[in-house]
Structure 1
């Protein structure tokens, strides 16, 4: 399900010419390899929390540069979605860390 959030962000950025393709999105907006989004689809895997965190930071940075642009509100909203996902996942990740210690 969370892969669809990243997919929506990617499609929005592509529509507004802030990214050219999925490979560029994976590398520049998620901090992952250029095949990251394809791999998620192929393996039916969930994106990492790190990819959401990086995406939130990059959206925030872009928002600062485009604050007067028509996309600003949408970038802010997508950034919040990413941050909310990271925050919601924090207790689960902390529990997993405690189990591994």
Structure 2
């Protein structure tokens, strides 16, 4: 869960997100309490939410070309890649879980 917290903190640092509710709704595409649920339960975010997060950070990168410092762009790019890796990891877990239940 630490990776998602790092992304949340980075978005807050850049004033792209102001609180957990905004992060849940605007970046993960879920209800206002989703991120709080993840933190309290230790559950992993689903792959659809991670895909949305990755896409939204990528969109910010596209919109800020030439407008923000290169080191800031690199930090945002790292967050986008991290969300993508988390998504692939969760997606493969979801697929393997479905295969086990079929047998």
TM bucket by the smaller chain? 0.7 to 0.9
Give CA-to-partner distance per residue, 1:36-91, whole Å, 9 cap, x none. 11111222222222221110010011110012212221111111011112223333
Aligned to 1:89: 90
Q: Which runs of 5+ in 1 are unaligned?
A: none
1:58 and 2:56 aligned = yes
4+ runs of 1 displaced by more than 3 Å? Answer: none
Q: Secondary structure at the residue paired with 1:46?
A: coil
Q: Which has the higher contact order (CA 8 A, sep 6+)?
A: 2
Q: Secondary structure at the residue paired with 1:23?
A: helix
Displacement of 1:31 in angstroms is 0.5
Aligned to 2:14: 16
Flag the 1:84–1:16 CA change in 2: closer, same or farther, 3 A: same
Flag the 1:95–1:44 CA change in 2: closer, same or farther, 3 A: closer
Stretch of structure 1 that moved more, 61-70 or 38-47: 38-47
Aligned to 1:46: 44
2:46 and 2:90 in contact (8 A); partners too:
no
Displacement of 1:98 in angstroms is 2.4
Q: Which runs of 5+ in 2 are unaligned?
A: none
How many aligned residue pairs are there? 99
| Superposition CA RMSD, Å | 1.5
